[in-house]
Structure 1
Amino acid sequence: MRLVLKTDVTGLGSKGDIVEVATGYGRNYLLPQGLAARATTGIIRQIQEAERVRREARRRELDAAENIRLLLVETRVVIAARVNDEGQLFGSIGIAEIIDAVQSLSSVVLERGMVMLAEPIKTIGYHEVTITLHPEVQCVLTLDVIPAHR
């Protein structure tokens, strides 16, 4: 018996999978429990179309993330900060300041979860910050922290 799973079934498959099961198992357990539906040609076509749409959306997201990565690699991000005589910042530069600097220089809007910063930046100089634009697309942004003029 050919069925489409409505929910994840341990040992059988995930929601949306088309599975072949014994007639008794399908008729006596999966169908009455609402775990599956008969796999008609219409339902199979709907599942295939939904999967095609998901793949296309995923491809577009990946392309957009790659375009942003290429833009960020070419962008020099400079942040001016007040420092003491030893080159230590008064305060620190965190994720919010990095997001603002990137947006003002490149018009790319980042979210807090995209910026990976191990600890706040407290010194002048070059710092590398990892930006995760998509689960498959990351880039390293070089941040140049310079002393602000007084």
Structure 2
Amino acid sequence: MKVLLLQDVKGLGKKGEICEVKDGYGKNYLIAKKMADFATNTVINRYRSAQKKALEIAAEEKALVEMTAKKIAEITLKISQKVGANGSLYGAITKEDIAQSLLENHHLNIDKKTLELKNPIKSTGVYEVEVKLGQGICAVLKVDVEGI
């Protein structure tokens, strides 16, 4: 009997492959445990259309992430903070501060966990912060820290 694998099966094949198996193994194990389905034309067409739709959705999501990366790369985020006599900041600018400033000033909701900042910013100047947006896409955000 021919079955369409709905997930990877060790020793048999990977998800989406059509395999020839013995009737008992196919009906009593693979199909019963929802690891496979009968390889009829209807099932194969339904699986392929669902797979195609999933690829389209993934492409749309990637395009959205790339557009967000482009927006982030164009931004120079200005943050003002009180400065002491020696030029260092009172307090420090952290990932949370950068994410909050992005949301307030540019309406970009970026999770603080995606920001790559090794140490909090403790002095004025222009800093580059890497933003990992997922799907292998990164953007560099310029943060301009000014003293008040």
Structure 1 and Structure 2 fold alike (TM over 0.5): yes
Compared CA separation, residues 53 and 124, structure 1 to 2 (3 A): same
Q: CA deviation at 1:7?
A: 3.3
Q: Residue type matched to 1:19 in 2?
A: I
Root-mean-square deviation (Å): 1.8
**Large movers: runs of 4+ above 6 Å:** none
* Number of residue pairs matched by the alignment: 144
1:145 aligns with 145
Would the aligned equivalents of 2:93 and 2:120 in 1 still touch at CA under 8 Å? yes
Query: What fraction of aligned residue pairs are identical, expressed as a percent?
Result: 26
2:112 aligns with 112
1:69 aligns with 69
Aligned 1:1-150 pairs, distance under 5 A: 1-15=1-15, 17-21=16-20, 23-24=21-22, 27-33=23-29, 34=33, 35-148=35-148
TM-score, normalising length: structure 2: 0.86
How far, CA to CA, are the matches of 1:7 and 1:62 in structure 2? Answer: 24
Would the aligned equivalents of 2:126 and 2:144 in 1 still touch at CA under 8 Å? yes
Q: Which runs of 5+ in 1 are unaligned?
A: none
How far, CA to CA, are the matches of 1:66 and 1:79 in structure 2? Answer: 25
SS in 2 for 1:143: strand
SS in 2 for 1:12: coil
How far, CA to CA, are the matches of 1:123 and 1:52 in structure 2? Answer: 51
TM-score, normalising length: structure 1: 0.84
Would the aligned equivalents of 1:87 and 1:124 in 2 still touch at CA under 8 Å? yes
Moved more, 31-40 or 138-147: 31-40
Q: Which runs of 5+ in 2 are unaligned?
A: none
Q: Residue type matched to 1:56 in 2?
A: E
SS in 2 for 1:10: coil
Q: CA deviation at 1:146?
A: 1.0
How far, CA to CA, are the matches of 1:8 and 1:80 in structure 2? Answer: 54
Would the aligned equivalents of 1:18 and 1:39 in 2 still touch at CA under 8 Å? no
